[in-house]
């Protein structure tokens, strides 16, 4: 299984993990082993919304080590056109459509993929990433279940 993680999940690890350093060390190993990835837009979003926070610093540190850095613009555009209510008109730099496109592209390549996210509640301006994943039959999981399944402690 390959995992792609979004900013909400990275932030939850940073804020709620009893030992985020241990968690991020393990995630760094997963990046090196091509088990974990995240798209460039996640790094951009974290730099804007959580600058100098542990999650944003980790993502910026490991971004050059990722094997897969995101979907093509063609795939992102296809996702934006064909999956309803995922583009937040008020959130110009929302990474969600790119995270969804990243997971979709990896699945189209034949990879067994799942999204790690805390974006599970509908918003007034867009739907939740988890619901968009459901529409495209992309597996998703929240941080506590994911870390536990990977043998990492939570919280």
Tokens of 66: 């990722």
Tokens of 96: 């969600």
* Overall average pLDDT of the 95-120 stretch: 97
Q: What is the per-residue pLDDT for 111? A: 96
pTM of the model: 0.96
Going by pLDDT thresholds of 50, 70 and 90, the confidence category of residue 106 is very high
Going by pLDDT thresholds of 50, 70 and 90, the confidence category of residue 30 is very high
* Overall average pLDDT of the 129-152 stretch: 97
Q: What is the per-residue pLDDT for 14? A: 96
In the predicted structure, residue 92 carries a pLDDT above the cut 90: no
Going by pLDDT thresholds of 50, 70 and 90, the confidence category of residue 140 is very high
Residues 143 and 120: beta-carbon distance below 8 Å: no
Q: What is the per-residue pLDDT for 93? A: 77
Length reported for the chain: 155
Closest CA to 2 of 24, 26, 29, 30: 30
Per-residue b/e over 57-92, b at no fewer than 16 CB within 10 Å?
bbbeebbeebebebbeeebbeebeeebeebbbeeee
Closest CA to 123 of 92, 154, 151, 86: 86
Q: What is the per-residue pLDDT for 90? A: 78
* Overall average pLDDT of the 28-42 stretch: 98
Spatial separation of the C-alpha atoms in residues 89 and 31, rounded to whole Å: 32
* Overall average pLDDT of the 54-65 stretch: 97
In the predicted structure, residue 89 carries a pLDDT above the cut 90: no
Instruction: Give me the chain's average pLDDT, please.
Output: 95
Cα–chain center distance at 86: 15
Domain 2-149: CATH superfamily, name plus number: 5'-nuclease (3.40.50.1010)
* Overall average pLDDT of the 101-118 stretch: 98
Q: What is the per-residue pLDDT for 75? A: 98
């Amino acid at each position: 299984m390959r995992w792609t993680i979004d900013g909400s999940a990275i932030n939850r690890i940073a804020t709620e993990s009893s030992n985020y350093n241990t968690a991020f060390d393990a995630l760094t190993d997963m990046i090196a082993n091509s088990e974990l990835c995240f798209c460039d837009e996640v790094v951009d979003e974290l730099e804007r919304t959580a600058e100098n926070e542990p999650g944003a610093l980790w993502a910026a540190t490991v971004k050059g080590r990722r094997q897969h850095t995101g979907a093509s613009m063609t795939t992102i555009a296809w996702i934006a056109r064909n999956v309803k209510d995922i583009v937040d008109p008020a959130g110009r730099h929302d990474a969600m459509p790119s995270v969804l496109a990243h997971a979709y592209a990896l699945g189209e390549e034949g990879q067994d993929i799942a999204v790690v996210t805390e974006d599970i509640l509908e918003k007034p301006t867009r739907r939740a990433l988890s619901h968009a994943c459901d529409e495209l039959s992309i597996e998703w999981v929240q941080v506590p279940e994911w870390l536990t399944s990977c043998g990492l402690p939570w919280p």
